[in-house]
Amino acid sequence: MRSKRASSETVADGRSATSTPYVRVSAVSKSYDHGDNPALVLRDVTLNIAPGEFISIVGPSGCGKSTLLKCIAGLQPVTSGRIMVKDEHVLAPPDNMAIVFQRDVLLDWRTVLDNVLLMVEFKGLKRRDYEARATQLLTTYGLGDFLHRYPWELSGGMRQRAAICRALVVDPELLLMDEPFGALDAMTRDDLNVELERLWYATRKTLLFITHGIDEAVYLADRVVVMARNPGRIAEIIDIDIPRPRPLSVRQAPQFGKYTSEIRRLFASLGVVRSE
């Protein structure tokens, strides 16, 4: 196991030395102005993500992980430092990027298929060109019989699957997921974890996955970024050397347990969780 302590001096580089990072977060700080005392949300965050890499960010609530995602998505400006996506300075949402939020934010008045095609409309593309792709994606995700149903007729897991299809329909290179399975029950969550791992394995999208579930983070990622709070910062980046594809049973493997207990120890030393 190889682990690195990320500080302002050491830069966590992408996994492959030959390819340039797809996402480059360089010394990013972010503070919200609350009158006299600006609250520092992110302090000196540096992170490179290689093309096709799966990164999980795990951390307690309030560690700024969602803020970091929104900065990478170009939805919020950084206070200092810079973020590059595909060698372009992120000042607005970059092209070829899609987001999945914790809440599915499906539109109640659109059918499942129309919700997926919403992305196509937003991007000014022709619906007709994407209808087949959207239908096929939804069918792959077990929603083939629900194309013309409304979101409220679906279960939580199905709704989140539809939200994932909506992100995938325009075939983004970069997929940002902000605690996408946080509101689901444990069994549905396991299902969606497996599906996401398969999806990533098949498509090799550059994927940034935010969660507060340690097991989920380790199961999915090539590297797990452990964040601490007050102020939000990267505490450690841990390489996960578990072969792919990963069946759900790898969670019982001793190797898997070593990673998760290392992260738990780390949180304990950071004072995030109590160490009995």
Partner 1 sequence: MKWWTQSEYGRTVVFVLLLMVGLWELADRMFGIRTFLLPPPSSVAVEIFNNPGFYGYQSLYTIYITAMGFALAIIFGVGLAIAIVSSKLLDRLLYTLLIASNSVPKVALAPIFVIWLGTGGEPKVAIAALIAVFPIVINTTLGLRAVDPDMVDLARSARAPNHHVMLKIRLPNALPSIFAGAKVGISFALIGAIVGEFVAGERGLGYVILTSQATFNSPRAFAAIILLSVIGTIMFFIVELCERWLLPWHVSQRSAKAAR
CB of 233 vs partner 1, minimal distance in Å: 24
| Comparison of 153 and 241: residue with beta carbon closer to partner 1 | 153
Burial of 131 (0-12, 13-18, 19+ CB in 10 A): middle
Least distance (Å) from partner 1 to the CB of residue 248? Answer: 29
Closer Cβ to partner 1, 44 or 131, answer by number: 131
Give the x-and-dash track for 158-197 against partner 1 (CB under 8 A): ------------x---------------------------
Q: Are residues 113 and 147 in contact, defined by beta-carbon separation less than 8 angstroms?
A: yes
Question: Closer to partner 1 at the Cβ: 79 or 96?
Answer: 96
For residue 150, state whether it binds partner 1 (rule: CB under 8 A). yes
Residue 98 Cα distances to 32, 43, 155, 239, angstroms: 25, 25, 23, 25
| C-beta closer to partner 1: residue 6 or 85 | 85
Q: Which is nearer to partner 1, 125 or 194 (CB)?
A: 125
Question: Between residues 75 and 250, which has the closer beta carbon with respect to partner 1?
Answer: 75
Tell me the window of 81-89, 95-103, 220-228, 236-244 that interacts with partner 1 (CB under 8 A).
95-103
The overall longest dimension of the chain from CA atoms, in Å, is 59
CB-based contacts of 183, cutoff 8 Å, min separation 6: 102, 103, 156, 160
Binders in 104-133 for partner 1, by CB under 8 A: 105, 107-109, 118-119, 121-124
In the complex, the smallest distance separating the C-beta of residue 112 from partner 1, rounded to whole angstroms, is 12
User: Is there binding between residue 73 and partner 1 (CB under 8 A)?
Assistant: yes
Tokens of 154: 């679906």
* SS3 call for 213: coil
Q: How far apart are CA 10 and CA 142, in angstroms?
A: 44
> What is the helix (H) or strand (E) element at residue 135, kind and residue range?
helix 127-140
Nearest to 174, CA basis, from 126, 123, 209: 209
Any contact of residue 146 with partner 1 (CB under 8 A)? no
What 3-state class would DSSP assign to 164? helix
Instruction: By CB under 8 A, name the binding residues for partner 1.
Output: 70, 73-75, 92-93, 95, 97-99, 101, 103, 105, 107-109, 118-119, 121-124, 150, 152, 170
